[in-house]
Amino acid sequence: MSSDKIIDGKAFAAGLRQRVASAVPAFVKAAGRKPGLAVVLVGDDPASQVYVGSKKKATVEAGMESFEYRLPDSVSQGELITLVEQLNADDGVDGILVQLPLPSHIDDKAVIAAIDPAKDVDGFHVVNAGRLAVGEDAFVPCTPLGCLMLLKDRLGDLSGKNAVVIGRSNIVGKPMAQLLLAENCTVTIAHSRTEDLADVVRRADIIVAAVGRPEMVKGDWLKDGAIVIDVGINRLAPTDGEHKGRLVGDVAFDEALGHVGAITPVPGGVGPMTIACLLRNTLVAAHRRAGLLAPEGL
Ligand code: GUN
């Protein structure tokens, strides 16, 4: 197995976090305060608790202020929106992240709509989605932003490449397609109703798989030399043969290695990029809100 085929997202994310952290002291000097990220967690979903804990740790490690709000499952939509409005009005808060999913009695669209777009470091607000679509400066959702950084790091110019994004979610698939289009790729968005997915994937120079179905993309679907970004994080059942609870992506990694030019592993590929991009977006939000020029090269 040739390791130069494996895209080390963990190392790239560590570098980005370092670049963010090293830009914080100059911001503190100019603005007289630290950049601040508020994270709101509703309920006690174990996976969300782990994500929120990791976000807090990374925020503090980057020299930023972390504000954490843990609300019970029973909180009403109105109470949650009131908290968001308080955070919008709080000058020490540059970024607001409401961890998804929310309990079923809360409409996540209404909550996201309440976030000030200037503090929407998740890039989920329709204003940011719209800005991305029309090519204006926008906060871009962290996972697709991280995927794009890994692709550009590996390929340089993406112009003219055939890119296939598998998955059409608002959080990953759609913004990913917009980002690739802005890089002059020819973009196809495939999804659960796509016919002959294997044939669609076979034409791709770049594949971003974000469907959440373990090892769905097979090695022989891939064009020789294709670059594969695997967003999937699927835990196989403890009863699943010899695999026993292993984490796998949406791409059959071992099979794919024989075909690809490069591929992100799971774990250690896209996952670490998401938090690093959240810190990057928070630093950019802080600069914009303070009327300062955001540092280049992030
Ligand atoms: N849940 C899973 N990923 C994310 C994310 O990137 N942002 C938020 N807010 N919730 C999530």
The Å distance, Cα 243 to ligand 1 centre, comes to: 27
The Å distance, Cα 287 to ligand 1 centre, comes to: 23
Q: Do 142-272 and 31-126 have the same topology in CATH?
A: yes
- Residues 51, 97 contacting (CB under 8 angstroms): no
Q: If you classify domain 142-272 with CATH, what class do you get?
A: alpha beta
Concerning whether 55 is annotated as a catalytic residue, the answer is yes
Compute CA distances 25 → 19, 62, 199, 232, whole Å: 11, 10, 50, 35
- Residues 164, 190 contacting (CB under 8 angstroms): yes
Mean pLDDT of 59-69: 98
| Topology at the third CATH level for domain 31-126 | Rossmann fold (3.40.50)
The Å distance, Cα 100 to ligand 1 centre, comes to: 5
| 215 C-beta closer than 6 A to ligand 1 | no
Sheet holding 162-166, edge to edge: 186-190, 162-166, 206-209, 227-230, 262-263
| 40 C-beta closer than 6 A to ligand 1 | no
pLDDT of residue 297: 86
| 97 C-beta closer than 6 A to ligand 1 | yes
Q: What pLDDT digit, counting tens, does each position of 69-115 carry? A: 999 999 999 999 999 999 999 999 999 999 999 999 999 999 999 99
Q: What pLDDT digit, counting tens, does each position of 154-177 carry? A: 999 999 999 999 999 999 999 999
pTM for the model: 0.97
pLDDT level of residue 1 (50, 70, 90 thresholds): very low
**Torsion region of 293: left, alpha or beta (phi above 0 gives left; psi -120 to 50 gives alpha):** beta
List the catalytic residue out of 34, 119, 120, 122.
Answer: 122
Mean pLDDT of 53-71: 98
Name the residue ranges covered by the structural domains of the chain: 31-126, 142-272
